[in-house]
């Protein structure tokens, strides 16, 4: 039998067909998530990093104008969220932007997007776990007057070096255990943690406004437009929660309606909380104070202690942060395991990545692999300076989704959509432009590191992935021809 020859050009630009089967769960996964729990996934992965410790990275860049940076990042994320909502309703499968790119832009672009997603989820999960240690130490200090020694709470290459960041490693392990037990159980625990952290942040806002001083906003934009854009770039990765929602496509009940509602609901909650916390925090002290090393580990808790003159508000906030950052780590780890599942299912990674435990309905192999890699990063490597590297991956993913909406409207106008982007085609174009504007504020070395990582992933694709792709094997077997995947 003659094996049909498929050209390299056809291989790399082939698109994954969108069929009726795409609306059903993949074998082994279980549709158990509703609108509320899915919305809490988005809030859980987003609220925490942006307010609990990334704000102390962003304020020195923009000054009080960091409020504008939050709004700018929220605007870009909001415009993109509309595109996410449409794509999630039209292509309701696991894999998030990777799956959307595969269906609209082609296999090689999908692998490029996979590189972005694996980078942003892996690095952000590890970095957030590192930040969790600081608030845990603050909580222990306030409660029992003891802190975990630096040797066990800092990486060897931190500014104040230790041997291992043990709390970060333990956090990753706990999240892995929860994820292995099942998606619905993880979602319920996450929802409870999200409600607690929203209540704690609202307490922060209420207490912080008692010490509000408008004079702290006098020098509003000391770094000008450049500083505002740079801060927006640092902040933007925190909106990864919107992408995390779309990684759950195969585990959501009635995904065509549930996913758009969850995405837009999470965006509204996140943006409101970010702006309230930023305004109230900036009103309590001069913006220069946000760069103090004393505030580096548990900044918002320190702010409340200074406002009240007592430790109890800081203790409550530290407890909220410990819970909050736990939920961020849980959801971002979940997202990465489901992206790996989707890539493995398509044959672009070894099939072991697409295996699901028949009892728990979870990809246990993926969870263990992610936990090991992320745990080692969190335990031994300081990742605070990589926020921008995560943002570039998030921004590119958001751009791809917005472009995908335009392409899918032209190529598949007949496709059922539970939600359509209002103001089409202006809205997705504005989303692309907003993301490109924020990208322009990132440092050159961020692009250099990103291109290096992208080159590694694409090299793997050309050497291994394209030859083992499910579409490639179908074409060789004569099941699909070039016209069906263009």
Section 357-384 average pLDDT: 86
pLDDT over 90 at 370, yes or no: yes
Residues 340-351 pLDDT 10s: 998 999 999 998
CATH classification at residue 55: 1.20.1740.10
Query: Per-residue confidence at 373, pLDDT binned at 50, 70, 90?
Result: very high
pLDDT over 80 at 158, yes or no: no
Across the chain, mean pLDDT equals 82
User: Domain tally for the chain?
Assistant: 1
Asked whether residue 25 is assigned to any structural domain, the reply reads no
Report pLDDT for 348. 93
**HSE (CB half, 13 Å, CA atoms) of 96?**
34
pLDDT over 60 at 193, yes or no: yes
Asked whether residue 24 is assigned to any structural domain, the reply reads no
Burial 254-286 (b: 16+ CB within 10 A, else e): ebbebbbbbbbbbbebbbebbebbbbbbbbbbe
Report pLDDT for 384. 60
Return the residue matching tokens 């990132």: 442
Report pLDDT for 347. 92
Asked whether residue 337 is assigned to any structural domain, the reply reads yes
- State the pTM of this model: 0.82
Asked whether residue 322 is assigned to any structural domain, the reply reads yes
- For the ranges 214-223, 248-257, 454-463, the maximum mean pLDDT occurs at 454-463
Calpha distance 153→372 (Å, rounded): 18
Section 458-466 average pLDDT: 93
Answer with the residue of higher pLDDT: 182 or 102.
102
Report pLDDT for 28. 57
Asked whether residue 282 is assigned to any structural domain, the reply reads yes
Asked whether residue 2 is assigned to any structural domain, the reply reads no
* Cα angle value 111/42/28 (rounded, 5°): 60
Calpha distance 115→458 (Å, rounded): 8
Asked whether residue 3 is assigned to any structural domain, the reply reads no
Q: Which domain holds residue 249?
A: 32-485
Q: Could you count the other beta carbons within 10 Å of the beta carbon of residue 237? A: 26
pLDDT over 60 at 2, yes or no: no
Asked whether residue 371 is assigned to any structural domain, the reply reads yes
pLDDT over 60 at 134, yes or no: yes
Can you read off the two tokens belonging to residue 135? 């608030």
């Amino acid at each position: 039998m003659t094996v049909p020859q498929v050209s390299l050009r056809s291989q790399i630009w082939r698109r994954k067909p969108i069929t009726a089967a795409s609306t059903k769960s993949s074998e082994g996964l279980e549709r158990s998530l509703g609108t509320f729990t899915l919305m809490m996934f988005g809030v859980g992965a987003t609220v925490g990093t942006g307010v609990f410790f990334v704000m102390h990275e962003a304020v020195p860049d923009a000054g009080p104008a960091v409020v504008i940076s939050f709004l700018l990042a929220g605007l870009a994320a909001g415009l993109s969220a509309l595109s996410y909502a449409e794509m999630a309703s039209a292509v309701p499968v696991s894999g998030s932007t990777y799956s959307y790119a595969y269906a609209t832009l082609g296999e090689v672009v999908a692998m490029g997007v996979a590189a972005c997603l694996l980078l942003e989820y892996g690095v952000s999960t590890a970095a957030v776990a590192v930040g969790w240690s600081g608030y845990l130490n603050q909580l222990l200090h306030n409660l029992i007057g003891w802190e975990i020694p630096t040797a066990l709470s800092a990486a060897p290459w931190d500014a104040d070096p230790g041997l291992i960041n043990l709390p970060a490693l333990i956090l990753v392990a706990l999240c892995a255990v929860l994820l292995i037990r099942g998606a619905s159980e993880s979602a319920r625990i996450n929802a409870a943690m999200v409600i607690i952290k929203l209540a704690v942040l609202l307490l922060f806002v209420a207490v912080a406004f008692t010490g509000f001083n408008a004079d702290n906003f006098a020098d509003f934009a000391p770094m000008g437009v450049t500083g505002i854009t740079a801060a927006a770039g640092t902040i933007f990765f925190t909106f990864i929660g919107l992408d995390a929602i779309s990684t759950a496509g195969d585990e959501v009940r009635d995904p065509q309606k549930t996913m758009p509602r969850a995405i837009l609901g999470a965006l509204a909650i996140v943006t409101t909380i970010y702006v309230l916390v930023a305004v109230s925090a900036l009103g309590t002290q001069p913006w220069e104070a946000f760069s103090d090393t004393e505030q580096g580990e548990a900044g918002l808790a320190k702010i409340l202690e200074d406002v009240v003159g007592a430790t109890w508000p800081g203790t409550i906030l530290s407890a909220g942060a410990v819970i909050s950052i736990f939920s961020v780590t849980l959801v971002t780890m979940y997202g990465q395991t489901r992206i790996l599942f989707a890539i493995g299912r398509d044959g672009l990674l070894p099939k072991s990545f697409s295996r699901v435990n028949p009892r728990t309905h979870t990809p246990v192999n993926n969870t263990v692999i992610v936990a090991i890699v992320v745990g080692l990063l969190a335990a031994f490597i300081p990742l605070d300076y990589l926020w921008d590297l995560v943002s570039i991956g998030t921004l590119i993913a958001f751009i791809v989704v917005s472009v995908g909406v335009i392409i899918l409207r032209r190529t598949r106008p007949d496709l059922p959509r539970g939600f359509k982007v209002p103001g089409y085609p202006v809205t997705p174009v504005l989303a692309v432009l907003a993301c490109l504007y924020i990208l322009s504020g990132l440092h050159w070395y961020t692009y250099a590191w990103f291109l290096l990582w992208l080159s590694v992933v694409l090299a793997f694709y050309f050497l291994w992935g394209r030859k083992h792709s499910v579409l490639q094997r179908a074409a060789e077997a004569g099941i699909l021809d070039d016209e069906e995947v263009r």
